[in-house]
Structure 1
């Protein structure tokens, strides 16, 4: 007794298993973490080192070079990129993605050990380099704004933000918390240079006096015969204002010189790296991140509840606390859209099945879908899977495949029922007949998708869950198709069986007659088909464009701004207000909110962790989801660009959409690596000119920038020696005066307060004050700086880039994907300049960003694609015992690919990575249908011991209904997602578009091309 017969004879057991699978799957699904992307380690590490008061050149020589020297000897690194800017060094390390996980983890440890070996850092580098791994689990869940709705009281806002942070940490699942615009407390000792010179006090003397006064230190233990007591020297400041009474010097007559005699003491805050505003209000923004493995939506709900409670507490305190952006909304929105479209697809699937089959058969086929889905959910925890965009993509692909299995079995059983067999006999015979071809089809599909496991790099890690989900669903679908489905169909009453519908009989008859006609004229048919196929393919291949992750109606827009070099944050903030007013005019039906951050315009790094400049700014515009607004983001961008044209005072003012998918960089990223940076600058100017003149290319930028003019002090070494001074004395004094120097610290209320000595704000802004600075020499006399130094003006670079330890510069640009792709631009740059650069000694050019990742991903994808085809061929060859028939089965693949190209061309979309993934799903259905057709033809040939036109056409027409039915049900089931009937999600469109349209074209190939090619066999 076969397993199918066992389940048919035990319907109660069968139904219990089905119900158990659905219930277990449902409750497992409810407990799965929901997040936007799977937890992926990008194999990248960022090393950030703070070096206060230093120029980019100082940072390069004294910090970056030291760390890079240690890193360059390590094995297993793919790239080392660095940028040295004022006060900071940032080094990005990429680990070879082809290495196994355990080796990558070892390399991460080696990197940390290498950094620990760097011991010759400048004394100003007080903190160890900050090392962070780049992972998708480190994504933000929410950004909360704590804004001043009225008079800006920064100290009060800080207290609210700190309390909010403390309460956030009590929520389970909350990971890192980053506060943007939150400044640490600082006591500023603002020196009056004229008073200090009158009293003959130097900056160094003032700093030493403050440092020596603020002391709390254990002096050991006093032991006596009966007890022991600790001895503590206590001279610590009780409150910040005490520093004013600190004695600088005192004579024997009792006259004292105190800090307050030469300086003004003021409670203040550290200078901000980034200055945020929300909807025009000054604010402190709290970015909440989740821990790996925690549910993003549940965490968001808890944070929302906390925000609501704070709104009630502070509603009368001129503080506006609100959720600026909830990133979990995009996850829940995607889930809702997928759920709605899946439900509508299921309804359309049922309606389609009713057209082809009787009511009960159609119903049991449709019920096979939730069994496969819930069955896969049961296994998710064992494979570490969560509910995310990539998993949903896999489920959508698998739905077309699992419907295919159930339809083929049910249609065959239904055919035997219509021929007069009892339901039980039809179920046993029909399922048994399809077991072998479906087993082969499932096996080939599993092996085909398993080839994705061999993809490496970032994209390989992202798609890793796709084959896992599809294989799980296929296994449960196969189980359901040969156990649960036959059991249900075996108990269909004879009265429910209806003969094949008249319109279907007519379609089959037309198909059989046209097939016979083409078989009689098969040479002409093949000639016409091949010429037409060749012409269409050549046309659409030329028109095809590839964009890794195209931007389609984005919900987030970025406005990048630059004012004049040298502008302070306050000046930049004032100038940007004109842009804020224009952004605020976006219709409320489309605008959810916007935030301004002065100090950077790094769209991919809103916490300002990358390059910072006071004259840079970024406005992030949050739109309502695409299905909730009538205005497309492209129209909003065009409107903003039109309004921005009349604004003056900006060297950069451009709008760009948010880019979906893994971080791959800008579409155009050109790196020039040089021994002599001046040689690179010659090519840089030419490339920049080409890009700025190219239509469809915008936001052209280079890292090779010059900042505001700097004053260079030329020291007279002879005079310094005569007066008992060193170059370090000069450097320290200048730094004390302008950058400021942390004399001491005081810890109060869990916060460390620094005491910074520097010139007062009025004098710091006057160049003439530089000449009035004095230094105390070894004999205690004050020496004017002007006596030992002359000054000149130079332009200093804003940043210094390294690539692989060598000086480099990077040119980046964005593209309008409707006009041109990044690949096309990079190809033109390569054709124009590659040859000249190769002829120039000491200069090389490489392409990074999206171009590099696209090439890697495409190469790996097509390697996996070809590997999958080879595996399928070998399996088919062994099981069919034929070298030729596997080629017959795979002959539909080119036809399906042509259908995909036509679909993307007609819809005006570029081919994308998700489009390629959808193509894989489409090919899985095609190979299954083609295999079933060939199996049927083989059975007819074996039965009749010959194969003529009539026998072949009669055999082929038996597969007409199941093949058309599988294709139609798949296309109809995907249609709501393709065209947004239940909600439009642009991210999924390329994938479902390639699946549905490819099937439409390839079905014709399965019905006609496969039988005609089969007829050539002897």
Structure 2
């Protein structure tokens, strides 16, 4: 271990000169000889070694993030999913039940052995924030057989894709979506375009245009918008100019209509301690007839009788079922799922941003915002970058305090980018996208890989303090640290390796373990070569700076000519 080596420096120096006795010792001796030869060559070509290594690091990172996709979470195979329907708000219970029966029949007609059971429910549906109820809502929940009985590792996800393709020809629902049901906090849709403004009718018109573009984008499925028409209602639109001629305002007309429809009491009857509201309202047949409503007369402030038709238009119509607001402005959202085997949320949103750019330019007063998983991923990446910067600052502060130097902490921390080579290689070899959990593991990896370089630099400093030559101190420290560094890294890698293989049973933890295994494997090998070269370059730079600024240093530290102050005569006159 690292601590054991600190206490056994003199003992190791005496015993390592003895000839190896066992085959394992002989192999270890050959490895030490080979490492010493490679290390001495690296020190002679230190600039090339360091430059080549970090160029390779930059190329690997750029290649990994250009080829692989970055997503919010990498998850395992789903155990259940919903087919959710939103019928028009004036749909009857029978129409909703008939559609649910058809959807359920199509699922069962697949004959897929991975389907364990289906449950159709009318009158409610699951949402990201809970449940919504209504006669026009319903859902079919599909349960997948246990993981050990499935036909393949991705049987649940394949079933979701298969079911999603069943309903392209379904007519009737205002919105139909196939959504995986997973534990954890609610998440937005893979594609969610928010259209914000003040004119609601214009927002709906733009939402239809955006919806058409989304449906034409490859990889999208079950696209819809969340605008819903309400049930049939009696709409009375007051003409403010004509009403003003009679001394009336929309507020006065509204109060009169509320009383006519029984929304406000005409009087109150008291019986003992109880008060009973007295409601006077129009007959139901009158309330449902726009012509008879238009013929009603109300009393103007001047005392004249004014018919409703003279100041307003009365008709049947359907208004919005729900008015949604986001940041105090009306909003209509276009939502869509994606085919995860063909694309990802980031790629689809990037395409949409390019396709919708002309529409955004033509409507400067309307805000187009890309939310859902795309927005959550961007926010998570920004916060992760901030956490990485804070971690770097804390590590540098601790190391600067220990070494009493500004440059040596940078030599120690130089091992962190070395781990990115292994991590990038692991990303490229994996068939999965880069998930946020994997990037969290990358932040944690920064605190692990500095341990070996920290002790290595400290060993070199101690050897130099004893008077050993610089290159010999570096080589000697590398040879002494070779076995402990390998043992420490191997035990860590061996402990995390089983977890890195559990991609299906532990999908949230396996990516983090994989990142640490990949990064630690490569950083261990490169630390033993690149960190000594960086230490040597740091000393070279310090010597050059010392020679260049030597005259300035001598001038600043030279006390100059001594100045003798005349003694002050304190003798009284």
TM-score by length of 2: 0.72
Q: Hey, what does 1:177 align to over in structure 2?
A: none
Contact 2:88/2:229 (<8 A) preserved:
no
Q: Counterpart of 2:101?
A: 577
Are residues 615 and 973 of structure 1, via their aligned partners in 2, closer, same or farther at CA, if it must alter by over 3 Å?
A: same
Q: Are residues 1:1013 and 2:534 paired?
A: yes
Cα displacement (A) at 1:572:
1.0
1:962 correspondence with 2:484 = yes
In the alignment, which of 48, 68, 74 is matched to residue 524 of structure 1?
48
User: Which residue is equivalent to 1:16?
Assistant: none
Where in structure 2 are the equivalents of 1:476-555 lying within 5 Å? Answer: 501-555=25-79
Listed as ranges, the matches of 1:850-889 within 5 Å are 850-889=373-412
1:671 is matched with which residue?
A: 194
> Do the aligned partners of 1:561 and 1:652 also contact (CA within 8 Å) in 2?
yes
Q: 1:694 aligns with which of 212, 217, 221?
A: 217
Q: Paired residue for 1:980? A: 502
Offset of residue 416 of structure 1:
8.1
What is the match of residue 408 of structure 1? 2
Distance in 2 of aligned mates of 1:841 and 1:589: 52
Distance 1:637 1:960, change over 3 A: same
Alpha-carbon distance change, 798 to 905 in structure 1, aligned in 2, over 3 angstroms: farther
Residue pair 2:80, 2:141 contacting (<8 A) in 1 also: yes
Q: Which residue, 327, 335, 340 being the options, matches 1:812?
A: 335
Which structure 1 segments of 5+ residues have no match?
Answer: 1-406, 422-496, 719-724, 736-762, 778-786
How far the C-alpha of 1:975 sits from its partner, in A, is: 1.5
- Cα displacement string for residues 118-153 of structure 1 (whole angstroms, at most 9, x for unaligned residues): xxxxxxxxxxxxxxxxxxxxxxxxxxxxxxxxxxxx
Alpha-carbon distance between aligned partners in 2 of 1:594 and 1:603, rounded to the nearest angstrom = 18
Specify whether residues 821 and 411 from structure 1 end up closer, same or farther in structure 2 by C-alpha distance, changes over 3 A only: farther
Structure 2 CA distance for aligned equivalents of residues 549 and 600 of structure 1: 28
What is the alpha-carbon root mean square deviation over aligned residues? Answer: 4.2
Structure 1 residue 956: Cα displacement:
0.5
Counterpart CA distance in 2 for 1:953 and 1:499 is: 24
Given the two structures, how large is their TM-score scaled by the length of structure 1?
0.43
Change (3 A) 1:630 1:998: farther
Q: Secondary structure at the match of 1:607?
A: strand
Q: Please state if 1:727 is matched with 2:257.
A: yes
The separation in 2 between residues aligned to 1:415 and 1:553, in whole angstroms, is 53
The one of 701, 706, 710 equivalent to 2:229 is 706
Deviation, 1:834, is 5.7
What is the aligned residue count? 488
SS in 1 for 2:261: helix
> 2-side partners of 1:915 and 1:821: how far apart?
17
Q: CA deviation at 1:909?
A: 2.4
Change (3 A) 1:555 1:706: same
Name 1:971's counterpart in structure 2.
493
Counterpart-to-counterpart distance in 1, 2:400 and 2:365: 54
C-alpha contact 1:892 1:927 (8 A) present in aligned 2: yes
CA distance in 1, matches of 2:384, 2:364: 36
Write the distance in 1 (CA, Å) between the matches of 2:373 and 2:121: 26
Residues 643 and 501 of structure 1: CA distance in aligned 2, closer, same or farther (over 3 Å): farther
Unaligned runs of 5+ in 2: 16-20, 247-254, 265-283, 298-308, 541-573
Matched, 1:634 2:145: no
1:138-217 alignment to 2 at 5 Å? none
Cα distance per residue 1:901-931 (max 9 Å; x no partner)? 3322321222222112211222211011221
* C-alpha spacing 1:498/1:902, structure 2 compared with 1 (3 Å): same
**5 Å matches for 1:120-135?**
none
Cα distance in 1, alignment partners of residues 183 and 456 from structure 2 = 40
> Secondary structure, in 3 states, of the residue corresponding to 2:392?
helix
Q: Aligned match of 1:953 in 475, 479, 500?
A: 475
TM-fit CA distance, 1:802: 1.8
SS of aligned partner of 1:959: helix
Residue aligning to 2:522: 1001
Check conservation: 1:550, 1:659, Cα contact below 8 A.
no
Distance in structure 2 (CA, Å) of the matches to 1:650 and 1:680:
21
1:512 CA displacement: 2.5
What do the CA deviations read for 1:377-404 (whole angstroms, capped 9, x no partner)? xxxxxxxxxxxxxxxxxxxxxxxxxxxx
Q: Distance in 2 between matches of 1:670 and 1:642?
A: 23
Distance 2:149 2:26 in 1: 44
Task: Say if 1:551 and 1:658, in contact at 8 Å, map to a contact too.
Answer: no
- 1:72-100 CA-to-partner distances (Å, cap 9, x unmatched) read xxxxxxxxxxxxxxxxxxxxxxxxxxxxx
* Cα distance between partner residues in 2 of 1:838 and 1:515: 60
Q: Which residue of 2 aligns with 1:942?
A: 465
Specify whether residues 711 and 851 from structure 1 end up closer, same or farther in structure 2 by C-alpha distance, changes over 3 A only: same
Deviates more, 1:898-907 or 1:789-798: 789-798
Q: 2:111 & 2:130 partners in 1: Cα distance? A: 24
Which secondary structure state, in structure 1, belongs to the residue aligned with residue 324 of structure 2? strand
Contact 1:418 1:499 in 2 (8 A): no
Higher relative contact order (CA 8 A, sep 6+): 2
The answer on whether the counterparts of 2:78 and 2:180 sit within 8 Å (CA) in structure 1 is yes
Equivalent position of 1:368 in the other structure: none
Contact 1:626 / 1:984 at 8 angstroms: preserved in 2?
no
Q: Is the 8 A contact 2:197 2:367 kept in 1?
A: yes
